[in-house]
Amino acid sequence: MSRDPLKGPRNPLLRKLVAGHRLLASLVLNTLLLFVAGNFVVWVAYALHDWRQPTNLLLVRSEEFLSAAYPGWAVKDRTALLQEVYGRVMNYEDYVMFREGALRGKYINVSENGFRQIQNQGPWPPNPENFNVFVFGGSTMFGSALPDEQTVPSRLQAVLAASTARRVCVYNFGTSFFYSTQERLLLERLLSQGFTPNVALFVDGLNDFIQADDTPAYRERFKAAFEQAHEKRKLLAALADQLPAARLAQSIRARKKPEPEELTKETARAARAITTYRNNKAMIEALCHAKGVIPVFAWQPIPWYHYDLKYFLWYGTTAKPRMIHGLGYEQMHGIFEQGTLGANFLWCADLQQDEKTLLYVDVHHYTAAFSQKLAETIGNQCLQRGLFQIAATPTPAPSAIR
């Protein structure tokens, strides 16, 4: 008589093994189904979240915000500007990792040679008969959210040009996310390629504390791409990082409560960032001295230092003050007060202290009026101190006392 297969094996041991196998298979299958379903739910949630978040966050601000940040602008012109701002791309660049991509627009134009166009842009390569100024910095110097002619470098050229009959040509090498280390490397690259300015101006502060560990933005993406290309990173791990659940886990970790010792840690990180900045400053000065370039350094204003935040319309929205900036700026001011940063260092962080008006078009970037004021402050201080010897053969500015 044949055995009914549905009743399983007659041997008790085999029967237990089969039952255990069925239970394990059911658990594995249900776990996989739950994992897939969970990731699908998280994916749908993030898809809806991302769909509701426009690429250009400025465009969802109220008309009160935007009309205050862009006085006199027609809505269609302002919208066109902001679409160009958020339509920019970054390209890979040797040594500095990335650069602003070339762009031709109505309001934003970036040369294939790596600098943003300004009003009455000088020739490239620079003509040695002109007084050529290379400006380095992050997105605040690039002039995010402003048209070409309203950026700090553009306004600086106008300020300097008014003081001399010699043609002044400013080149805006400001790049989003850049800080002093990348700026030093970029200057080295330009000099090694034979592009030597009369002046190299560095405007820093904001990004030096964002990149306080002396690692550039997007480092983890570059690292992951490199390791994956060289098979140092397992495919399974790379795929796991792309799962919706991994994104959710990263979001939860980012929202963890501050540790009690955070103040101590951030104070130490701020001090390290300042050490990095000062080391970069010293190396830039040595390089400029060897090449006959005048180095000038300016410490920029930020919303969270000596600014009345009731005029900062983004406070309490997407603008979250970073503890490290407040700590770092106070430390840097103490160093400045000691007089050890040199005659070629300009303290501009207090520029907004008595201002009772809107100075920022978004959480970091300056309005046209404040860009004008910063440019005038930098230009006039350099002229008053004799740092810019425009009419004569340039000589290096005094080095910082160390």
SS (H, E, C) 98-125: EEECCEECCCCEECCCCCECCCCCCCCC
Q: Quick one: angle between helices 368-385 and 152-161, nearest 10?
A: 40
Is the N-terminal amide bond of 258 cis, ω within 30° of 0? no
Q: What share of the chain is helix, strand, coil (3-state, %, to 5)?
A: 50, 10, 40
**pTM score, whole prediction:** 0.80
Q: How many helices (H) and strands (E) does the chain have?
A: 13, 9
Residues 6+ apart with CB under 8 A from 270: 209, 212, 324, 327, 328, 331
Candidates 97, 100, 127, 98; CA nearest to 111 is 100
- Secondary structure of residue 168 in the 3-state scheme: strand
Nearest C-alpha neighbor of 206 from the set 181, 184, 178: 178
Sheet holding 168-172, edge to edge: 168-172, 131-137, 199-204, 294-299, 345-347
Place of tokens 């003050």: 321
What's the gap between Cα 110 and its chain centre?
Answer: 17
Q: What is the pLDDT of residue 162?
A: 95
Secondary structure (3-state) at 171: strand
Looking at the DSSP bridge assignments, the partners of residue 132 are 169
Q: SS3 for 169?
A: strand
Phi, psi of 162 (to 5 degrees): -70, -10
Nearest-angstrom CA–CA distance, 78 and 67: 9
The pair of three-digit structure tokens given for residue 27, joined into one six-digit string? 């658990």
Q: Which residues of the chain have pLDDT under 70?
A: 1-10, 42, 46-61, 228-260, 315-321, 391-402
- The residue among 300, 291, 277, 276 whose CA lies nearest residue 135 is 300
Q: Give, in order, the Cα–Cα distances in Å from 209 to each of 22, 157, 275, 282, 330.
A: 57, 28, 11, 18, 12
What local confidence, expressed as pLDDT, does residue 262 receive?
A: 84
Q: Tokens 């929205």, residue?
A: 317
Which residues share a beta bridge with 42? none
Give Cβ neighbours of residue 130 (< 8 Å, ≥ 6 apart).
Answer: 122, 166, 167, 168, 169
* Measured distance CA(362)–CA(82) in Å, rounded: 11
Model confidence pLDDT, tens digit, residues 48-72:
665 555 445 555 567 888 888 999 9
Three-class SS state of 300: coil
**CATH fold label, 88-231+261-385:** Rossmann fold (3.40.50)
The first and second tokens of residue 320, run together, are: 């979250």
Kindly give the residue spans of alpha helices, DSSP state H, lying in 200-351: 206-210, 219-229, 235-241, 244-254, 262-291, 323-337
Q: How many CA atoms lie within 13 A of 303 on its CB side?
A: 26
Mean pLDDT of the chain: 85
* 68 DSSP assignment: H
Q: Whole-angstrom distance between the N-terminal and C-terminal Cα of the chain?
A: 100
* Angle at alpha carbon of residue 365, lines to 360 and 367, rounded to 5°: 45
